[in-house]
Amino acid sequence: MPKTTTNKAAQKVPSPEKITALRGSIARLNSAVLAFSGGVDSALLAAIAAEELGDNFIAATLRSPLMKESDVAESVQFCKTYNISHVLLDMDILGNVKFAANDHDRCYYCKEQIFAALKQLADQRGYKHLMDGTNIEDCPKRRPGMRVLTEMSVVSPLRENGFTKADIRALSKEMGLFTWDKVSDSCLATRIPQGESITMDRLRQMQYRAN
C-alpha cells in the first residue's frame, strides 16, 4: 500500500456541480490516454475516466529509472483494484542526452518524451486525446514541463475545472480510492542537484534512499 499523509483531517468534498462539470468534461473527450503515475491526482482522474469513457480509455504508466519500483507496483495494483485498463511502457529516458544533462529544462525534456510515447499509443489505439492529472495549484513557472501540455494539446480536466489538491483528496476519499491520502512525491531526478548529470548510478542511490 502507498505511504500516506499524516494529516487525516476531514476534507470538504467538492460541490455536486463541480464534480458533474469534471465528469462532463471527461465524457466529452470520447476517448483518451492518461499519463498515469499512480499518484493521488492521476489516480482520481483514472477512476473517473474509466467510468465515463469505458473501453475508450486507458491509463498508461511510463516505467523508467525515474520511478521508484514501489510506485510502479502501486500503479498496477490500483488499476487492478478498480478495474481500470492499464499499460506499462518502458522509457529510455537516460538515452535522452538533453534530459541527462540536468539543466533548467530537464522536466520539459522528460515530459516531451513521455507524451510523445503516449501520442504513439493513442494513435495505435485510435484514441483522440492525451490527458494528465495537473491540478489548479500546479504552477507553470515552477514546472517547466507544463509547457509540453500546451504544445501537445494535453487535456488537464482537474486544472480546467478548478480542482485543488484538497478537492482531489476529498473526492478520492468519497469514492473509496485507497490513494486519497497518499503522500505527494517527486521523481527521483529532482533529488539530483541541477547541473549534475543524471546517471543510472545516481538514480540507484536516490532509489535506495527513498525506500
Domains of the chain: 16-182+192-210 (3.40.50.620)
CA dist list (Å): 6 to 112, 181, 182, 184: 34, 8, 10, 12
**Rounded CA separation 80/87 (Å):** 11
Question: What does the pLDDT read at residue 185?
Answer: 76
**pLDDT tens digit sequence for 112-160:** 999 999 999 999 999 999 999 999 998 655 566 788 999 999 999 999 9
Q: What is the pLDDT of residue 169?
A: 97
pLDDT of residue 10: 55
Which residues in the chain come in under a pLDDT of 70?
Answer: 1-10, 139-144, 208, 210-211
d(CA 166, CA 180): 10
pLDDT at residue 138 in the model: 82
Q: Model-level pTM? A: 0.90
